[in-house]
Chains A and B, each alone.
Chain A
Amino acid sequence: MIKPLLVALYEVRIYLRDRGDLAFSLLLPIVTFALMYGAFGGQDTFHGTAHVVNEDQGGAYSILLLERLEENDCLDVNLLSVQEANSKLDRADLLLILYIPHGFSDAVASGEQGQLVFKQRGNGGDEGQVVASIVRSVVDELAQEFQVHAQVSEALEGTGIGQEQIDVTVEQLIEEERQEPTVTVGEETLGGSADPVEAFLPTIVTMYVLFAITLTARVLVEERRRGTLERLLTTRIGVGQLFFGKFLAFCSRGFIQTLILLGLAYAVFQMFTPLSFIQALVIALVFIAAASGLGLLIASVARTEDQAVWIAVVFTMAMVLLGGTFFEIPEVGVMSVLSKISVNTYANDALKAVINEGSSLADVGMQLAVLAGVAVVALPLGRLLFKVLPGGR
């Protein structure tokens, strides 16, 4: 029984020495993921900069306004001098700038209308327009608070209640309203998960694992052509042992690849807990066994190395596209039915459930069973069709 293990061990040594193979199975997935992350990642919600010129230096209300703008999660505040602002607008470096004019605070304090000014080129640009509307809503909120303050003070004038007490009480009320608004607006994200890492990282890992394993069929066909398999048959390893050794070899290289990729994902994105990492590895292992069975089946039917490569590529592409690697498969419809024939679907679903939803392995039992079933069917079938020498054993 040691012989199949040795076959696997030597093949893994060859794999670890083959730079091209390593680059394909490790570097390429990392690059692909980085590209997808660059395309879809990072900017899932709006974030902009409010460029502000404050001519109302030291004014209590302008300071309050700037504070409120800073507090807003979507905005950064960038203070500019008048000269800077004007030249940037002239050169169209900036398209929209908020001016807080002289005497703004005095005007507000005395109950007059405080006037803010947006200076903009054209329509102010996309970002400018969004920033302007956020600024308007912040200003509206402030104005309403002032109004409440003013009206309460007016109504209570002459009742002997001190101004300070009025201010504190009103401030408390407003704070309460802010903490627990009367009307709230919730968010529901439809289609894709908002987080591209969680949505795509598992699918890209399974894609490359399937690619790497099915393409390994080429190596086996090459061995048949070169005669190393035939030579092995004149030693004391049986065809069945040899086949099992190759299965272990396929599994080992797939597992090494997965371990490194998921380990990197763990380190870089902190997307696992120790438990979910182990669970992900178990799912990956079952997927790898299925993929290895399919890879051996390809090696058994392919007559030449070119054939092996073509079958592997076409097969993997079909599995990958139907497996929801680059886009979510809708839950109903033709695609959803077709996706059921892809091994990647089951692996991706199980991995996402464990990583994103905190599911246990029992929750993804159906997916694991399907993957194990594929391995159990593909292996004997591959063994049946596996010939070391055409016309021979």
Chain B
Amino acid sequence: MLKPFLIAKNLHKSFNSRKAVDRVSFSIRKGEIFGLLGPNGAGKTTTIRILSTVLEPDRGDVIIGGYSIRRNPDAVRRLIGVCPQELALYEELSAIDNLVFFGRMVGLSGSEAKAQAVARLKLVGLTGRAKGRVDKFSGGMKRRVNLAVSLMGHPKLLFMDEPTVGIDPQSRNRIYRTIERLRDRGMTILYTTHYMEEANRLCDRVAIIDAGRIIAMDTPLALRSRIGPPEQVTLEDVFLKLTGRRLRD
């Protein structure tokens, strides 16, 4: 395998003395799909916010493509794309306008942004609805626009925060296919989800995070082997065994 593209070292982040991210360290190799799994409130989104330079960690550092998020956040931003958990779109604008706008914000020229927007919409299967207003779209279509926006500017590393929440199997499958195609083109992806088969199918390696701490990290197969014969054990069994059945609220 290739050398790490992302190295997170001993990240800490607290909100009013509540630890959201606690001693988190991991690395992601180039071209890898890395899953970050954890119950609600585990610290997945906070971790992504730190990695994507939106939040500064209280302690620790992250190196992405050789650049530190602390010392060189601008260089880091040039390498990353973020597909946020919440739909972060201008609903009053059309799909293509959203893509072109965010494309211009990552520094593309008008014509580059236009061309990339058309290509990204094709990738997520929305060519026919390019000019439709986003607020008229179904949940699945919005999710796909959300993903397409994060691909503007050819990021080398993509953060995907629960990109398949609340959508039908058709849209979800389209998103899986998109991710697989991106991986085939060599993109590095950090992926968070609550759906264990999803992680099992897509991820090369997963980390399980609970209460801000990483409690296990390995390939899905190796994790399943830990608690029994891998063909009889699901990743969900592993997840529940490691994180417990207690409700997180």
Contact = CB atoms under 8 A, between A and B. Distances in A.
B49, B93, B149 interface centre (most CB from chain A within 10 Å): B49
B107 A389 contact: no
A10 B55 CA distance: 26
A235 B102 contact: yes
Contacts of A228: 88-90
A360 B215 CA distance: 73
A178 interface: no
Interface stretch (A12-20, A26-34, A149-157, A251-259): A12-20
A225 to B, nearest CB: 9
Contacts of A391: 15, 55
Interface in A1-55: 2-3, 6, 10, 13-14, 17-18
Contacts of B97: 10, 13
Contacts, number: 74
A230 B105 CA distance: 13
B111 to A, nearest CB: 14
Given A235-B77, A392-B49, A392-B56, A10 B88 contact: no
A89 interface: no
Nearest to B55: A392
Given A3-B105, A236-B107, A391-B15, A231 B88 contact: yes
A388 B82 CA distance: 16
Contacts of A393: 54-56
B216 interface: no
A6 B102 CA distance: 10
A15 to B, nearest CB: 9
A232 B105 CA distance: 7
B41 to A, nearest CB: 16
Bin chain B's interface residue count.
20 to 34
Nearest to B14: A391
Given A231-B82, A234-B82, A235-B105, A226 B87 contact: yes
Contacts of B180: none
Interface residues of A, number: 24
Interface in B98-128: 101-102, 104-107
Interface string B176-189: 00000000000000
Contacts of A3: 104-105
B93 A10 contact: yes
B218 interface: no
B88 A226 contact: yes
A231 B92 contact: no
A330 interface: no
A18 B92 CA distance: 8
B102 A236 contact: no
Interface string B66-88: 00000000100110111010111
Contacts of B192: none
Interface string A332-363: 00000000000000000000000000000000
B101 A6 contact: yes
B54 A235 contact: no
A18 B135 CA distance: 12
Contacts of A388: 54
Interface in A230-272: 230-237
A237 B101 CA distance: 12
Given A226-B88, A233-B54, A391-B55, 19 more contacts: A10-B93, A10-B101, A14-B90, A18-B92, A226-B86, A227-B86, A230-B84, A231-B88, A232-B105, A233-B53, A234-B52, A235-B107, A235-B153, A236-B78, A236-B105, A236-B106, A388-B54, A391-B15, A392-B56
Closest 6 CB pairs of A and B: A227-B88, A235-B105, A231-B88, A392-B55, A234-B82, A227-B86
